[in-house]
A and B are shown apart, each in its own frame.
Chain A
Amino acid sequence: MTISSEPAAETGPPMAHSTPKRDSASQWRLMWWQFRRHRLAMVSSFVLLLIAFVGLFCEFLAPFSPDAFSPRYTYAPPQRLHLFDRNEEGSLVFRPYVNGYKVTIEQAALRRVFTIDENVKYPVGLFVKSDPYPMWGGLFTLETKLFGPLKKGDPLYLLGADRLGRDMLSRIVYGTRISMSIGLVGVALSLMLGIILGGISGYKGGMVDNVIQRVIEFILSLPTTPLWLGLAAAMPNNWPPLRIYFAITLILSLIGWTSLARVIRGRFLSLRTEDFVTAARLDGASEKRIIFRHMAPSFVSHIIAEVSLAIPAMILAETALSFLGLGLQPPIVSWGVLLQEAQNIRSIVTAPWLFAPGVAVVIAVLSLNFVGDGLRDAADPYRQ
């Protein structure tokens, strides 16, 4: 996949006049061509791939463990990464390093103030050796990190440190996995509920449809956060982290399935009366065959687009719940859990870099929205 820096003429045949290539292209190829024309969506899918990569390989990419703390560096500000250094002869060479800190105690407020000390240099390297750590939940053990301080114990806080001197960057990298996967798992659950209930509603019609639609309208008319909070508060607080994780995704999808169900029902309703479906039915095709062989190709793309727009809503919901302390709990690191640190005004004034997880949320949600927008435009390539 390339970012759309090349001229539009090369990114597929022009849509205006029908070339033979366009006439013979498959539905999915036409969608791909249409999607490629949405520049923001293309750039965003690149960003999303990057985020997915970070989420997948977070153990390897994060320079430290998310729980590694160091009281000496409480609220240490971000360091700038210098890529080039002067060697003995005074010429620039590629030798990444960060500066150390100078600590002074501010007498009035009795707090430590960090200033960057230009004289101290801690070398930073790629593929550095580290303590052995389990990869992918203990599938195998690695002893190399993508980057880190060359000498063990040297401080490296590219995004600053939090209240316990933990590295924000490492914590955000680890949080990526949890936050993004909650979105995916939650939407997968909502999709299952949505397909079952929306499908029944649209395919059967009549009384069943009426009841399901009233229920959906009712749920949609309720404010979501209080309900989420109410359900989350009912979780016993001695549950293990993994169970809380799944409980939270379940709670999010219990209320989140409605909009997906509506879209699926709408598709089913409009397709049900199409000539080709009637033809298939008259031909004696089974219900299963009608749905999966004849109807599915024309609604799957729309559902994919809706799903990609539902994921950011899930991520935002999880962030809000965890931020309030009723979602995921601290041993788990998600972006919302990290933002708990930024809850009181004193700590964000001392350490504005605690906002960094919020920036990660905004970037992820923004790219998901753009990709969803592009997918929705591309979902029906036969339009016009």
Chain B
Amino acid sequence: MFGFIFRRLLWMIPSFFAVTVVAFVIIQLPPGDFVTSYAADLATSGSPADSATLDALRVRYGLDQPMVVQYLTWVGNAFRGDLGMSFEYRSPVASIIWDRLGMTTLVAFCTLAFVWLVAFPVGIFSAVKQYSIGDYAVTFLSFLGMATPSFLLALVVMYLSVEFLGYSVGGLFSPEQVNAPWSWAKVIDLLGHLWIPVVVLGVAGIAALVRIMRANLLDELGKPYVETGRAKGLPEATLILRYPTRVALNPFISTVGWVLPVLVSGDVIVSSVLSLPTSGPILIQALKTQDMYLGGALIMFQCVLVLIGTLLSDILLAFVDPRIRYDN
């Protein structure tokens, strides 16, 4: 087991490396570099910088070096916590993103828990009562859930709340709590707002997971061991929960691997609609203004977040499923 965890951790190294390369490529993609945008910025504000100053800046940030060197400098600085400067905010990237990434993590993991809590019983119900009215309703709703873009759902929720509740449901805190220090009141206030993005984000994941759970359980329900249990007189509920459900559960846990990327993706769009203080809105803002150090850092950490989530789910799966023995 520990051998497996060790090898799985080792496998994270090339993944991390690849993520940093992806982020660096995205930072480098727009034409021009950091200094060109800086010069353009100065020119629009009416005090154009002379080319000597710009060249000095290039040397200082190592922009005259070959790409590989630039990449290594950037990664080296990133490890020491220096992620470059943001133009829009005129401050270091690192000082902007941590709070935001914390909120993204919170929203993503709450949604994941919600997705599991709902999809698990609904999936079992849908499989056990196959072809009943309830099953058809669940099937229809899950297809609808998969077909609705999450931002559209967020817009509809906003519309309904303004139309019928008379106020807008954006944000994660009430106005008076936004800048308050952390306290119980603030946590409770957060929980009061958190459920809306969690539900909006969760719908697509729930829809997909219900389909998977249903298919897995249907495969198991017809097997002889279920019939044996039934013949021995086990109560139906005990039988289903104790045997086929446990077998069907494994793919369920491993879905973290793809549900988490979907959630983080969805968070980017939904939070800009619901104006949540997560990393989504500033990522979009940064990309629109080509504030690439900020954008690249955010993309990198969102990917890292997902990689860590996948790692946790793999380890969890190895614990839960006695059939999985990764040791050779």
Pick the interface stretch among A59-67, A119-127, A193-201, A361-369: A361-369
Supposing A358-B149, A362-B148 touch, asked if A226 and B155 sit within 8 A by C-beta, the answer is no
B156 lies within 8 A of A355 (CB): yes
Q: Which residue of B lies closest to A346 (CB)?
A: B162
Count of interface residues, chain B, beta-carbon cutoff 8 Å: 50
B29 lies within 8 A of A231 (CB): yes
* Contact present for A234 and B147 (CB under 8 Å): no
Bits for A303-336, please: 1 = Cβ < 8 Å to B, else 0. Answer: 0000000001000100110011110000000000
Q: Which of B163, B261, B272 has the most CB of A within 10 A?
A: B261
Question: Is A345 close to B, CB under 8 A?
Answer: yes
Q: How far is the CB of A147 from chain B (nearest CB, A)?
A: 28
Q: Does B278 contact A (CB under 8 A)?
A: no
Q: Which residues of B contact A355 (CB under 8 A)?
A: 152, 155-156, 159
Would B258 and A220 count as touching, CB distance under 8 A?
A: yes
Cα–Cα distance between A370 and B146 once the two chains are bound (Å): 11
Q: How large is the interface on A (under 10, 10 to 19, 20 to 34, 35 or more residues)?
A: 35 or more
- Given A316-B149, A320-B269, A222–B159 Cβ distance below 8 Å? no
Whole-angstrom distance between the Cβ of B142 and the nearest chain A Cβ: 10
Contact across chains for B159 and A233 when beta carbons are under 8 A apart = no
Distance between A325 CB and nearest chain B CB, rounded to angstroms? 7
Q: List CB contacts (< 8 Å) of B245-274 with chain A.
A: 257-258, 260-262, 264-266, 268-269, 272-273
CB-based contact B302/A226 at 8 Å: yes
The answer to whether B261 touches A236, judged by C-beta atoms less than 8 angstroms apart, is no
Question: 1/0 per residue B132-157: CB within 8 Å of A?
Answer: 00000000000110111101100110
| Contact between chains at B149 and A223 (CB < 8 Å) | no
Q: Which of A201-255 contact B (CB under 8 A)?
A: 218, 220-227, 229-234, 236
Q: Is B306 an interface residue (CB 8 A)?
A: yes
Is A365 a contact partner of B147 (Cβ separation < 8 A)?
yes
**Docked CA distance A365–B302 (Å):** 27
**Do the beta carbons of B302 and A361 come within 8 Å of each other?**
no
Contacts of A362 in B (CB 8 A): 144, 147-148, 152
Q: Does B194 contact A (CB under 8 A)?
A: no
| Residue from A324, A349, A370 whose CB has the most chain B CB atoms within 10 Å | A324
Q: Could you tell me the dominant secondary structure of chain B's interface residues?
A: helix
A326 near B299 (CB under 8 angstroms)?
A: no
B221 located at the interface, meaning its Cβ lies under 8 Å from any Cβ of chain A in the complex: no
Decide yes or no whether A14 CB sits under 8 A from chain B: no
Contact B147 A226 (CB under 8 A): no
In the assembled complex, the CB of A326 is this many whole angstroms from the nearest CB of chain B, namely: 6
Give Cα A234–Cα B295 distance, bound, in whole angstroms: 11
- B22 near A229 with CB under 8 A, answer no
The interface residues of chain A lying within 8 Å CB-to-CB of B310 are 221
Interface centre among A229, A323, A355 (most CB of B within 10 A): A229
The 5 closest A-B pairs by CB, nearest first: A234-B29, A233-B287, A225-B265, A230-B26, A223-B264
A-B contacts, 24 of them at CB < 8 A, read A218-B15, A218-B18, A221-B261, A221-B307, A221-B310, A225-B268, A226-B283, A226-B302, A229-B284, A230-B296, A233-B29, A233-B287, A234-B30, A316-B149, A319-B149, A320-B149, A324-B269, A324-B272, A345-B158, A345-B162, A349-B163, A352-B159, A365-B146, A369-B143
Residues in chain A within 8 A of chain B (CB atoms) = 218, 220-227, 229-234, 236, 312, 316, 319-320, 323-326, 339, 342-343, 345, 348-349, 352, 355, 358, 361-362, 365-366, 369-370
Residues of chain B at the chain A interface (Cβ within 8 Å): 15, 18-19, 22, 26, 29-31, 143-144, 146-149, 151-152, 155-156, 158-159, 162-163, 168, 170, 257-258, 260-262, 264-266, 268-269, 272-273, 283-284, 287-288, 290, 295-296, 298-299, 302-303, 306-307, 310
